[in-house]
Amino acid sequence: MSTVGTSRRWAGRRAWTATDPLPPALLIGAVFLADVILVAGAGLAISMLPDAAGRPAPALVAFATLICLAIAGALGAYGHAALFGSRRASAHLVAGLATAIGALELAAQAFGSADAIPVGPALLWFAVGSPLLLIGRTAASVALRAAAERTRQRAVLVGDGPQAARFVDAMEARQDRSLRLLGLVDDRPAEAMDAERGHSDLPRIGSMQTLCSMIRRGEVDQVIFTLPWASEERLLGLQTTLADYPVDLRLAPDLAAYHGGTESALEAGKLRLLRLADRPMRGWSGAIKTAEDYVLTLSALAVAAVPMALIALAVKLDSPGPVLFRQRRTGFNNKDFFVFKFRTMYHEHADHEVRRQVQEGDPRVTRVGALLRRTSLDELPQILNILRGEMSFIGPRPHAPGTRAGGKLFEDVTDRYAARHRVKPGLTGLAQVRGYRGMTDTEEKLLLRVESDLEYIEKWSLWLDVVIVVRTLLAVARMRNAH
C-alpha cells in the first residue's frame, strides 16, 4: 500500500464534524425497496404478456419476490458493507431469484398446476430479472459511494500498535467503503505508545478523553478496538469506560487472523469485526421507535388538543404568569435541552434549577398546579419536545442537572446513571409505571429508577412500549402522582 496515497486519503479528516451519516437501516431499506420493485416489476410485466399458455399470477409474483429477497438477505446481501459494491451480494440476489422461481416451478409441477407458473414465463422472468438486479445494485453502490460523507459510518480505532496498522491495510485491500476511519486514539502512556507504534497512516486524534468528547458531540458512530486479544484486562477496562456511551463497540481480529498475508486472510473471509456492544435501539429498532414516537405523539395531540387549551386557560386564570414553564433537563448523550410543562407553581416561586424538590402540600404550588401534578397533566406540553426530536414518547424520564438524592448528585449515587442517556428521555417510562416516581429524597429511590431505566433500554420491544402506555393511562385515570 502506498504511504503517500494513504496519507492523502486520510488528510483533512477534521471535516468529519460537518455532516452526520444517514442511519444504515435507512440505506438498507432504500436498497431493499429498489430490489423489490425490480424483481416484482419484472414478474408483473411478464404476467401481463398475452400468452395463451398461461402466466404467473400476481400473488405468485409477490410470493416469489419475498422468497428471493429473504434468501438473499439470509446470505448477507443486505449487510451495510454489502451495499457499497459486493460481488457476493449480487451473486446472492441472483441465486435468491433462481431459487424462488425454481421452487415455485417445481411445486407447480408436483401439484399438477403447471399453468400457475409456466416454464417459459418463469425462464423469461429470471432472464429479465437477473440483469435488472445486477444493474440496480451497481447503481445503488455508485450512488452510495458518491455520497460517502452521508453513507459511511464514522469509526475511530483504539490502539496504535501493529494491530491498528494491519487493520488499516486490510481495510484498504478489501476496499471496504462502509466505514470512514477518522483516526486513532491510545489509552497508554506516551512512552509505551512510542515503543509500540504500528506506523499506521491514520492520524492520532488524541486520548481516550478526546474520544469520549467526540462521542458526546455525536461525531463517532463506531469504536473499533485494535488490540491484541491477549490484553484482556486492558480491553475490559476500555469496554467498561465506553459502555455508557451511545456508540457501537467492535473488536478487530488479532494479528493471528492475518496469517498468510492480508490478501489470503481477506479471501478466506477472516476479517471480521466482533460485536462487543451496540448502541441501543439502532437500525430497524431505531426506525420502529421513531415511527412509534410520531404515531403516539400525533394521536395524543389529536386527543389532548382541546384539554390542553382548557388547562392553559385554567393556569392563566388561577395565578399570574406564563402558562408554560421551561426547565433545563439532561437528554440523549448528556446534552441539555429545555423541557416544556404547564406551570404548576406561583411564578415568583419558579424553581428553574430544582434547588428544592416539590413535596406534598408545598405552598409554592398553585391550586390548579396541585391537580395537574396529581394527574400528570402538567407533562402534556412535552409533546412539543417529542415533535422537536428532543424526547421520545417512552423512555427514561429526564432529570434536571444538579438534582440530588440523599444529598448526593444523581451521577455520584451510581456509576451507571449516565447509561440512561444512551437513548432519548421519555414522557413516561418503565420506572414510572412501576411506581418509582415522586421525590428522590433517598439514594434507594434513585437506584430503583435507574435499574428500571436500564432494564428498559436493554429489553426494549414494541410490546413493552404498548404495556407501558396502557399502564400509564391506567395510572393517570387513578389520579396517581407520576412525577
Could you report the per-residue pLDDT of 61-117, keeping only the tens digit for each?
888 899 999 999 988 888 888 888 778 888 999 999 999 988 888 887 777 776 677
The pLDDT assigned to 190 comes to 57
The pLDDT assigned to 199 comes to 54
CA dist., res. 191 & res. 210, Å (int) = 19
The pLDDT assigned to 262 comes to 38
Beta partners for residue 184, in sequence order: 157, 204
The pLDDT assigned to 14 comes to 46
**CB of 440 closer than 8 Å to CB of 336:** no
Using the Cα atoms of residue 111, residue 114, residue 120 and residue 125 in order, give the sign of their dihedral: negative
CA dist., res. 412 & res. 414, Å (int) = 6
The pLDDT assigned to 289 comes to 92
Q: Which three cell numbers stand for residue 396?
A: 427514561
The CATH code for residues 3-20+152-279 is 3.40.50.720
The pLDDT assigned to 189 comes to 64
Among residues 125, 133, 124, the alpha carbon closest in space to that of 77 is found at 133
CA dist., res. 465 & res. 395, Å (int) = 9
For the entire predicted model, the pTM comes to: 0.74
Question: Whole-angstrom distance between the N-terminal and C-terminal Cα of the chain?
Answer: 60
Give span(s): CATH 3.40.50.720, the chain: 3-20+152-279
The pLDDT assigned to 271 comes to 57
DSSP secondary structure string for all residues of 152-186:
SEEEEEE--SHHHHHHHHHHHHHT--SEEEEEEE-
The pLDDT assigned to 468 comes to 95
SS3 at position 225: strand
Those residues of the chain that have pLDDT short of 70 are 1-19, 50-55, 114-115, 174-175, 188-200, 254-271, 351-359, 479-483
**CB of 244 closer than 8 Å to CB of 418:** yes
The pLDDT assigned to 135 comes to 94
The pLDDT assigned to 351 comes to 66
The pLDDT assigned to 197 comes to 56
The pLDDT assigned to 95 comes to 92
